[in-house]
Structure 1
């Protein structure tokens, strides 16, 4: 079937019901309002007390079926989805929603709703793939009174063929005016520590002022590169681009007394131990990125 024929077939579903005489699973209630306000950080006093109303943006919360679902879809909506599946649009993603509020809901209100297939778009091409946007409109009522309207839009699409992904690069460090000198040193294969000009305290990571005395003046000293593993964790999950779990992330205490987060290279993650002596080296990961890492000092 060509695009015009498919679109005409899809357009025939506009105006047909997607759900009929649905009801909210629970009356509007104070506990759910409280949970919503806590999650949203909304302290509006209108949502508490004996004359409380529900936040208008909760409209969909009162009509959602939850994990059990409503089970009240009309045959026309199921048929529409089946037609799209047959056309190869087997994937789906929610894209956006719109809401209109007629009057606020109050604890004790029992909501009912009807949903209609409002529109089906022409064939659209997106980064996800090519398909059709389907918009449904749900009218929410308390008794015969309309209290709000909820429009919900999905994209039913045929997933685009993915190109081979380029090799993942390690994340780039954030370089700013406070730490630029450190990264300049790394490019020169030097691990520079800040030294307070007032109390001579060493500090790492780099900061704009001394955490011991507050003095903003400082110079640098180059670390010897000797250190020990002070602590470590082994990362199994979640996976992160350019890293292959499991791997160890170590906190190395330098001979100068400061600590740095880094890698121990050249050994399995399960052989890393607290107190293990290590020595600094610099590893180049790509044309732009060089990082300080550590290697076990062997006898």
Structure 2
């Protein structure tokens, strides 16, 4: 059974992962400058009258941004491969490494084009994260008609450690649906989670300048004071921004679902699920109300329910 599945995965090797991709922007000095500032790279070759782009920016010129490329994007074959792994229970994903080869410098004004292929799918491997398959894609990047470099990118599609596969799907050893990930509780935020356990949403307040802050921090980001107390949020807020999660699927969640950045009436913002309305009806400015949702026998979380009638 495992050999048959691996044979199906291997059949995708050599197939296209992206075809006819075109960089959304010409190689340009502002992006080079922003990259160098972010990386702290002051090499003189990247500035001056005739600059070149840092070689490690190779992949940056191929990225489609939030809106994608519109054409020349990810291929059906690559989507099919990921769907095959998802369907077999390997629903978690992590980027593991990349390799780049540089063939010629990139200069402002260069038009970047690229193609990509599924180079390899490994045998099933067991790692500290879990058991799964490494998928490597190779992207060939061109500047005009000249080869500019090669970018190899590798991901691991896996079943998290502590889960097992049965009947082709990932399951918890204890239950059919895995538990939600546990929040990281430490000495800096323990008071927040103690409040949640008592159905209170507590916000830190600096004792010196009285600035409210969220998430919890060991010191005030306005004046640096280490002394603080708390105020309890009234629970009213509005959706300041949001995303709808479709991928990657994770067995503990039912996709798609909305994650909102909620601005509380007290002026601070926090991230949590928006519930009580279909994911495609969530809107910026939507009024929401705090409630506490028990997701399993051990964990209760603050979420925000859309006000009645606000789903339009």
Is this contact kept in 1: 2:208–2:227, CA < 8 A? no
Specify every segment of 5 or more residues in structure 1 that has no aligned partner in the other structure, as ranges: 172-228, 241-247, 251-259, 272-299
What residue is the counterpart of 2:107 in the other structure? 106
What residue is the counterpart of 1:237 in the other structure? 214
- Considering only CA atoms, is the larger Rg found in Structure 1 or Structure 2? 1
Aligned residues: 193
Is this contact kept in 1: 2:125–2:133, CA < 8 A? yes
Deviation per residue, 1:28-59 (Å, 9 max, x gap): 01111111111111111111223211111110
Change (3 A) 1:5 1:147: same
Deviation at 1:106, TM superposition (A): 0.5
> For residues 91-130 of structure 1, what are the structure 2 equivalents within 5 Å?
91-130=92-131
2:35 is the counterpart of 1:58: no
Change (3 A) 1:45 1:231: same
What residue is the counterpart of 1:151 in the other structure? 152
Change (3 A) 1:64 1:15: same
Change (3 A) 1:51 1:86: same
What residue is the counterpart of 1:139 in the other structure? 140
The alignment partner of 2:150 has SS state of strand
> For residues 177-216 of structure 1, what are the structure 2 equivalents within 5 Å?
none
The alignment partner of 1:33 has SS state of helix
What residue is the counterpart of 2:259 in the other structure? none
Distance 1:83 1:167 in 2: 32
Deviation per residue, 1:69-107 (Å, 9 max, x gap): 125222211111111111111122211111100110000
Deviation at 1:168, TM superposition (A): 5.3
The alignment partner of 1:108 has SS state of coil
Is this contact kept in 1: 2:19–2:114, CA < 8 A? yes
What residue is the counterpart of 2:6 in the other structure? 7
What residue is the counterpart of 2:304 in the other structure? none
Distance 1:64 1:103 in 2: 19
Is this contact kept in 1: 2:17–2:117, CA < 8 A? yes
Deviation at 1:161, TM superposition (A): 3.7
TM-score (norm 1): 0.57
Deviation per residue, 1:222-244 (Å, 9 max, x gap): xxxxxxx973757753257xxxx
Deviation per residue, 1:149-184 (Å, 9 max, x gap): 00011111223347997995648xxxxxxxxxxxxx
Distance 1:5 1:119 in 2: 17
The alignment partner of 1:67 has SS state of coil
Distance 1:119 1:235 in 2: 51
Distance 1:166 1:34 in 2: 38
Deviation at 1:3, TM superposition (A): 2.0
Distance 1:6 1:235 in 2: 54
